[in-house]
Structures are given as C-alpha cells and as structure tokens.
A and B are shown apart, each in its own frame.
Chain A
Amino acid sequence: MSGPTQGATTEADHPLRVVPQPTPESQPFWDACARHELVIQRCRSCGRFWFPPSNHCQHCWSEDFAWEPVSGRGELYTFTVYRRAYAPELAEQLPYVVGVVELEQGPRLITNIVDREPGDVRVGMPVEVVFLDFPAGVTLHAFRPRENSRTPSTRAV
C-alpha cells in the first residue's frame, strides 16, 4: 500500500483481506467508490456535511439530506506507519500508512496514504483521493500527496 506505486492503483499491490460490509446507510458511499467518486452526506436543512454515514444529520438531526460528490481534496490530519503485521497477509505490505484525512468540506476519513515513502509522510500535507480496485469487486479510497508529480491516475477525482 505504500512505497513506489505504479501499484497504488493496481490490484496486486493491496491484497484485500477484509471486505467492507455496507449497511443500508453506507451503501451509497461504497457504490460511489465503485464509480471512482467520493460522495459525502450533506444536510439540506443546515447545509453541513457529516461522516460516517447515517440517516440523520449529526448537527441538526434533520433527515433531509443529499449525497454530494466532493472534491476529494483535503489535508492529512494525522497518520501512523504500521511496522507490525496484525495478520500474516499484511506482513508483506509493511510498512504501510493509515491516515486521517480532513476533507475540504470538513469531515475526516480514515484511509491509506499511498504514492509516498512512509518516512516522507507529514501531518498537514495536502492530499487528494485515488480509488483502488480489488479482485473481490471492491473499491476503496486512498489518498496521495497533492503535489505528487508522478503520472497522475486517471482515476483520481
């Protein structure tokens, strides 16, 4: 998941072990990921965004919301570099980066940081979303540094 990554957007680079099990509330989020689109719920009453998905606005409890496509740009709020594998299959992925990204719209997502050596990842780094497709038919979001000069992925939003 980290390191030199043509691989960031290939299937082989990230053998997915755990497939997300969408709930009725989160299904639209994962469906959008499959289309390589990042969508977040936004309240039609108070205008604010929230995440993770739920059927009530976290701010005003309105049930009137829309799934809005967002820029996929944000800032790395914090991160950790995994140096120990929590399952045998993860061993060959080490070291990999789990980060918390704050989207421009406010909500924070737990995600992976790709296309950057773990030792060069920094809190506050501007990042943008990319989408990783896996053999199980699942697509996950990840984020990469925004100033990244490598061949841009056509899959980035």
Chain B
Amino acid sequence: MYQRSVAIVGAAHSQLGEVPGSTAIGLMADASVAAVADAGLTPASIDGVIVRGPDDEYCFQQQVGERLGLNAAFSTSLGNGGASQALAVVLASLAIEAGLATTVLCGYARNSWSRTRRSGSRKARMNQSTHNRTREWRDSFGYFGEPATHALGAQRHMAMYGTTKEQLGHVAVSVREHATRNPHAQMQSPLTMEEYLDGPLVAEPFGIYDCSLRTDGAGAVVVTETARAKDLPHPPVVVRGFGSHNNLRGWTIDDHMVQTAARASGERAYRIADVSPSDIDTAQLYDCFTYMVLAQLEDYGFCEKGEGGELVASGALGLDGAIPTNTSGGQLSEGHVEGMLQVVEAVRQLRHEYPAERQVPDARLALVSGHGGNTVCHTTLILEGG
C-alpha cells in the first residue's frame, strides 16, 4: 500500500506558445533546469528520469540524460499519450517508496508549432504519419484529427442528457477568464459567449474555441521523499493518492465516450488518498476539448453523470466557484503541453504562490488528471499542500 511519503518539491515550465526553431529536447532542458532550481536542488541529486517527448522520438529520457548530464537509477519514457504526464508522478512515487530512486525528474516537451513550420503542409504530415490501422478504419471515411473523436463523445452526451453547445461554451469562457490573469498564457484576451458561439466550426459540435492550442513548450516537476523536503525552499506538495484506468478496448466501445476512464481512475485515487470529491479545492483537468472537462467533472463525482452542463454553466469553474478548474487557463487557453502544465499549476496553487486575484483561496487538495493514448488512457493525481 502506498504510504504517502512522497512530495513534489520543484515545478516549472519553459517558454510557451510559438517558440521559433525550438526543439522538444531544448524546451525539456529549459523546464528541467528551472524545476530543479525551483526545488533548491543540484543536478547531482537527480537519480530518476521519467519523461515523454514527441511520440516519434525514441527513448526521450536518454536525450534528457545526455543533454543534462544525468545517469539514472530509474528511467523510462512513457507511452500513455496525454495520460503519461500524471503517470510519471505516479511511477516516480512508487519507485521512490520502493527504494529504486530518491529524487525523480518528471517532464514532457513538445514543439508542435515549430514542427508544423518545418514539415510543410498539413497534408504532407498526414500522409507521412498514418498508421495502417488508422488508415484502414478511419482515414478511408474522411475521419481525421482528434477534434472529431471527442466530438463523437460530445454529440452522444448531448443526445443522452440534453447538454448544449452553450454549456460547452461555459468551459471555454471560464478557462479563458483564468488565462487573462496568467502572463504566460497564449490567449490573453477574454472570450465572450457570443464570440464562442460564432467561432468557426471544426467538427460539430466543436468550433475552434472547443479545441486546445498548438504549443511549443515543456513542463517539469521534481519528486522526492517528503522527509527530504524540510531543507528545501518550498513547502512540499505531498502526493496523497493516485489512480489510473485505461479503456484499452477503445473509445467507441461500451459507454467509454460518455463515462470515460476518469471514473474508475478517480475512484481508485479517492480510495488511496482517502478523500472524497467534496474535499477537493481545485481541479486541474486534461482539457484537450471543452467536452472532456464537462465529462470529467461528472466522472470525478463533482456532479452526477449528465449534470456537467448545468455545473459548468453555474460558474463552478471560476476562482470563487464550486470547483475552481484549470486556473492557469488550461490547454484551451494557457498552452497544450499534454497535461504537464496541469501538474505545475496544481503545485503552484497548493503552495499559495499567486497573488490574490489568481489564487484559489484556502487551496489544500488538488485533483489533477491526464487523458490520452487514443482517448482511452487516464491517470489521476491527488496532491496536498502544507
């Protein structure tokens, strides 16, 4: 059984947005150096590396070690897509309690903007990257892109529960409002409901404002034994519990696109952390699309299944709402670093680092989620401030 003896002691992100000419490893190095400095540690103290980079970069952890001069008692790159970044913290916690490592660097980097510029047209990329399985069962029918995948879920949810486009809009508008208080966010100007509803359609019911951003960026955290944290500059953010669940049979199977893997992952995390949804002060959810926020709020028990639309429309996601969510602006408005910035934001909120206009009052417990791997993998972290 997990002993809750592990904490996050350092957290940072690189420059975010369009970073011309950037490489994933370069951004990863920036975030890693900043996270270790934030922890008040030196490179010599790092003996674990659990990271992920672009999926076509083999053994990204080896690039990190080479770039930063690190050997590791424990290292790997992860393959659960957007669920990997929270999973890195889970694996670090288990490795540390098992004695396989003492201080683990966890991180993720992407250079989506810069890659697009280098590799030419969208079509060229599409034809290069298509896997046979995807080509056979999806591309042949004109089914491309992640927006459509999540739109299938949103459409089903709307049909089952009467969820509306405007309710999805409340997610986009709420997280944008958070972003206007975050100087690092890619999107700085407020979004009105009218602008949201007028946004160009992509894959119905989604328009552009339902979709997350294209980002060059990286995030990193340093995980170690809580006992080691007493000599460090910041109060430790304890890894109180975690869970995961993976609907590997697929998104279109059973009711996976409506009751997502977040449900079972969350139940495990609440059990291990010995807390309940009403104890959570802030949620940092994987918001690749507006619908995933709404679905996860239900799956995590902040409301009943089918009531997510009403919950988000009530203003629940705001700083003074029932469950302040994605308080950095999230992937919809801060930057899309595949869930890594959700971990960083939770740490900062639990340290009470922010000025009052950006700080969740009395934040003590944060729930962080990761979702991905063809939409079926999920990880949950429950973090606790001092």
A contact set with B: CB distance below 8 Å: 1, 16-23, 26, 52, 58, 77-84, 86-88, 90, 93, 95-96, 98, 100, 108, 110-112, 118, 122-124, 138, 140
Contact = CB atoms under 8 A, between A and B. Distances in A.
Interface of B: 122-123, 126, 130, 132-133, 135-145, 148, 151-153, 155-156, 158-159, 200-206, 249, 252-253, 257
B138 A110 contact: yes
A87 B203 contact: no
B140 A18 contact: yes
B250 to A, nearest CB: 9
Contact of A98 (B123, B135, B143, B202): B143
A152 B141 CA distance: 22
A110 B252 contact: yes
B148 A80 contact: yes
Contact of B151 (A20, A77, A80, A111): A80
Contact of A124 (B123, B135, B145, B159): B159
Contacts of B143: 98, 110
B200 A83 contact: yes
B376 to A, nearest CB: 14
B204 A84 contact: no
Count chain A CB atoms within 10 A of each CB in B122, B139, B204 and give the residue with the most. Answer: B204
A23 B136 contact: yes
A127 B253 CA distance: 19
B123 A88 contact: yes
B141 A21 contact: no
B309 to A, nearest CB: 16
A140 B159 contact: no
Given A84-B201, A84-B203, A100-B252, A123 B156 contact: yes
Nearest to B151: A80
A21 B132 contact: yes
A108 B139 contact: no
A20 B203 contact: no
B137 A93 contact: no
A12 B185 CA distance: 46
24 contacts: A18-B130, A18-B139, A18-B140, A20-B135, A21-B136, A23-B136, A26-B136, A78-B152, A78-B257, A79-B155, A80-B203, A83-B202, A84-B200, A84-B201, A86-B122, A86-B145, A87-B123, A88-B123, A96-B142, A98-B142, A100-B252, A108-B253, A110-B141, A140-B141
The 5 closest A-B pairs by CB, nearest first: A123-B159, A83-B201, A86-B144, A78-B156, A18-B139
Contacts of A86: 122, 126, 142, 144-145
Given A18-B135, A20-B135, A110-B141, A81 B252 contact: no
A8 B180 CA distance: 48
A22 B132 CA distance: 8
The residue among B132, B142, B153, B205 with the most chain A CB atoms within 10 A of its own CB is B142
A33 to B, nearest CB: 10
Nearest to A84: B202
A18 B137 CA distance: 10
A77 to B, nearest CB: 7
Contacts of B136: 20-23, 26
B126 A83 contact: no
Contacts of B133: 52
Contacts of B203: 80-84
A133 B135 CA distance: 18
A6 B153 CA distance: 30
Contact of B148 (A20, A82, A122, A123): A82
